[in-house]
Structure 1
Amino acid sequence: MESTITEQQARDKVEQYIQGALSALPAGAELKPFTRNRSECTDPTDKGPLGRFEISATYEIVGLDSASFAEHFTAITQWWESHAFKILTDSRPTDQYVFARNTGDAFDMSIKANDLGKFYVGATSPCVWPNGTPEPQALEATAPEQPVAAPPEPEPVRKPRRAPVDDEDFAQTNWTDGGTSF
């Protein structure tokens, strides 16, 4: 298994890329934290082992004129192109959304705006080991599969608490006086 950058290095690079996108915007634009995540790579695109994480952050960019959002999209996509990002999804003009991946390190970035005048930029790392090297449990998981535990014991067969009621007896029971008559 290959080593990766550490989670902290991934977090720093996410922030570096977001700051880079911000630098493409006019003075007065500021970052307002929106989300920060550490998500386990349960279905990694590189088919790698479990135990790795993606680090991501999204910021709202405040201080922008919503009438100029198209210009801001252009400015950020130009910054991406000059920093080895390849645009993979551009939903404009239907939606104000663009998604790109860095061809050198596989970090993803996106920009999105909405009709409420909100403008967001986000970045996500590829799957990384917390400390940069495979965790011991991940190394063990690649060993040949061996039974971990004995198969579960079957449920005990449950016997009825009383004998089944015969339809004839049921019909002949006198339910009004608490007794039976045959």
Structure 2
Amino acid sequence: MKPTITEHEAKDRVEQYIEGVLGALPDSAERKPFTQNRSECTDPTDNGPQGRFEISATYEVTGLEPARFGEYFDAVVQWWSAHDFTVLTDSRPKDQYVFVRNNADAFDMTVQANDLGKFYVGATSPCVWPNGTPEPQALEATEPEQPVAAPPEPEPEPVRKPRRAPVDDEDFAHTDWTDGGTSF
């Protein structure tokens, strides 16, 4: 298993990429936190082991004119092209959405807008180990399983003889349980 950058480094890079995109937008653009996530890579695209996480953040960008969203999208895509990102999905003009991946470090980014005048920029890291190196439990999970000896068969318990003969229900109902009965 290969080491990765740490979660902290992934979070820093997510923020750096978002700052870079914001630099391509007008000075009036301000970011407002929308989501920040740390998600376990339960179905990683590289079929790697569990115990790794994706770090992501999405910001609503305020201070932009909705009538100029097309220009802003073009500026962001141009910034991405200059910073080694490849466009994987461009849904324009039908939808205001572009998805890219960085060729060097596999970080993903999106830019999205809606008819309500909202504009969003997001970034997601690839799967990373929390401390940059595989966790011990992940290493153990990838080691081939060693055959384990079957547990010994338990000794059969000795058959116990009843201490007294079973009571017949009919006798039980007719027994005198008062002190005047038979003493032992």
**What TM-score results when the alignment is normalised by the length of structure 2?**
0.79
Q: Which residue is 2:134 aligned to?
A: 134
Within 2, Cα distance between the matches of 1:30 and 1:75? Answer: 16
Within 1, Cα distance between the matches of 2:16 and 2:47? Answer: 27
Aligned residue type for 1:108: D
Q: Which residue is 1:102 aligned to?
A: 102
Within 1, Cα distance between the matches of 2:85 and 2:97? Answer: 15
Tell me the CA shift for residue 2 of structure 1: 0.5
The answer on 1:18 being equivalent to 2:23 is no
State the structure with more CA Rg: 2
CA deviation map 1:123-150 (0-9, x unaligned):
00000000000000000000123689x9
Within 2, Cα distance between the matches of 1:58 and 1:2? Answer: 28
**Superposition RMSD on alpha carbons, in Å?**
1.3
Aligned residue type for 1:42: T
Within 1, Cα distance between the matches of 2:51 and 2:145? Answer: 18
**What TM-score results when the alignment is normalised by the length of structure 1?**
0.80
Unaligned runs of 5+ in 2: 151-184
Unaligned runs of 5+ in 1: 151-182
> CA 1:146–1:115 in 2, change beyond 3 Å: closer, same or farther?
farther
Q: Which residue is 1:87 aligned to?
A: 87
Within 2, Cα distance between the matches of 1:122 and 1:147? Answer: 47
Give the 5 Å matches for 1:1-182: 1-145=1-145
> Between the two proteins, what is the percent identity of the paired residues?
74
Tell me the CA shift for residue 53 of structure 1: 0.2
Aligned residue type for 1:74: D
Aligned residue type for 2:101: R
- Give the SS at the match of 2:71: helix
Within 1, Cα distance between the matches of 2:11 and 2:141? Answer: 27
* Number of residue pairs matched by the alignment: 149
